[in-house]
Amino acid sequence: MSFDINQYKIESEPFYQAQGNEVERYQAAYAARLPVMVKGPTGCGKSRFVEHMAWKLGKPLITVSCNEDITAADLVGRFLLDASGTRWVDGPLTLAARYGAICYLDEIVEARQDTMVVIHALTDHRRELPLDKKGEVVKAHPDFQLVISYNPGYQSVMKDLKQSTKQRFTAMEFDYPTPELETQVVAKETGIDEHTAAKLVEVANAARKLKGHGLDEGISTRLVVYAGILIKQGMPAAEAAEMAMVTPITDDAEVRESLLHTIELVLGEAA
C-alpha cells in the first residue's frame, strides 16, 4: 500500500507577518534544497514561519518537537511486532526523506546528542539516510529539506549544538518583532483592537528588559497573543496579562510584583 505524504500538507494559510526578507531567503534555500537552521528566542514566531513557508511552497511539513527522550530510532524508525510478525515502521525523518517533505526538528538541542548523528548524511552532498537496523540507505527525495530550530540564548554548555552540526546548515536569525509590527500581529491573531494590543506589547517589552536580571526568558509574542485571546473572551486586560504574561514565566515574588506594577501603569488597572 502506497503512502500519501500529502496528508502532511497545510491546507489553510498560517498567518505570518514578515519582519524583513526572511521569506525570500528561505525560498532561495529551499530552491537549492539547502538545510536551514532557524534561531531565535522562545515564542518569537520560528515555528509559525516554517509552517507558513511550507504552505507557501505547497510542500508537506512533518514536525518533530524534540525533547530529552527523543532517540535516533524515534526519528528514523524501528521494527515493531504485530499479529503478522515483525515489520518496519518509518520514523518522521525517514518519511520526509523517502517521500519528499520538509522535516522540521523544533528545539533540536533538547534531543539527546547521540541522535544528531543521524541527520549528518542528509545535510551534505550525500542527501541520504542510512537505516542501519534495516540494512537500507534512503536516498532523499528531490523535494526533501531539513529545517531545525533552537533558542541560542537559553542553552547551557551541555545543550548547545556542536559546531560539526551547525556548519551543515544555512541559518536565519529571528527576534521579537518591532512594537508596531508585534501590535499588528497580536491584533490580527486575537481580534482585539490595536490600542489594547499595543498596551500588551508595551508590557511585554518592559519585561524583556529584565531578561538576565531575574528572568531567564522575556515574554514571548505567543504569550502576548494568549493575553489578547483572554481579553477577547471578556477577561479584564490586567487579569489577562497576569494570567498569560506574568504567572507562566516567573515564580520570583519580586519579579512578579515588578511586572504587576508595570501592568498597572500601562493598562491603568491592577491585576
How many angstroms separate the CA atoms of 71 and 210, rounded?
A: 35
- Residue 247: predicted pLDDT: 95
CATH number belonging to the domain at 5-173, selected among 3.40.50.720, 3.40.50.1370, 3.20.20.70, 3.40.50.300: 3.40.50.300
For residue range 104-117, list pLDDT tens digits in order.
999 998 888 778 88
Angle between helices 179-190 and 194-208 (to 10 degrees): 130
How many angstroms separate the CA atoms of 4 and 6, rounded?
A: 5
- Residue 157: predicted pLDDT: 45
What's this model's pTM, rounded to 2 decimal places? Answer: 0.88
- The pLDDT of residue 243 is above 80: yes
CA–CA distance from 49 to each of 45, 60, 111, 176 (Å)? 6, 14, 21, 13
Q: In the predicted model, what is the mean pLDDT of residues 7-12?
A: 96
Q: In the predicted model, what is the mean pLDDT of residues 201-220?
A: 86
How many angstroms separate the CA atoms of 95 and 55, rounded?
A: 18
- Residue 271: predicted pLDDT: 58
Contact 224, 189 (CB under 8 A): no
Average pLDDT across the chain, whole number: 91
- The pLDDT of residue 87 is above 60: yes
Residue type at 203?
V
Q: In the predicted model, what is the mean pLDDT of residues 43-67?
A: 95
- Residue 114: predicted pLDDT: 75
- Residue 270: predicted pLDDT: 58
The pLDDT confidence band at residue 218, using thresholds 50, 70 and 90, is: confident
For residue range 134-179, list pLDDT tens digits in order.
999 999 999 999 999 988 865 544 567 788 888 999 999 999 999 9
- The pLDDT of residue 212 is above 80: no
Contacts with 167 (C-beta within 8 Å, 6 or more apart), sequence order: none
The pLDDT confidence band at residue 126, using thresholds 50, 70 and 90, is: very high
Interior CA angle at 221 toward 149 and 144, to 5°? 25
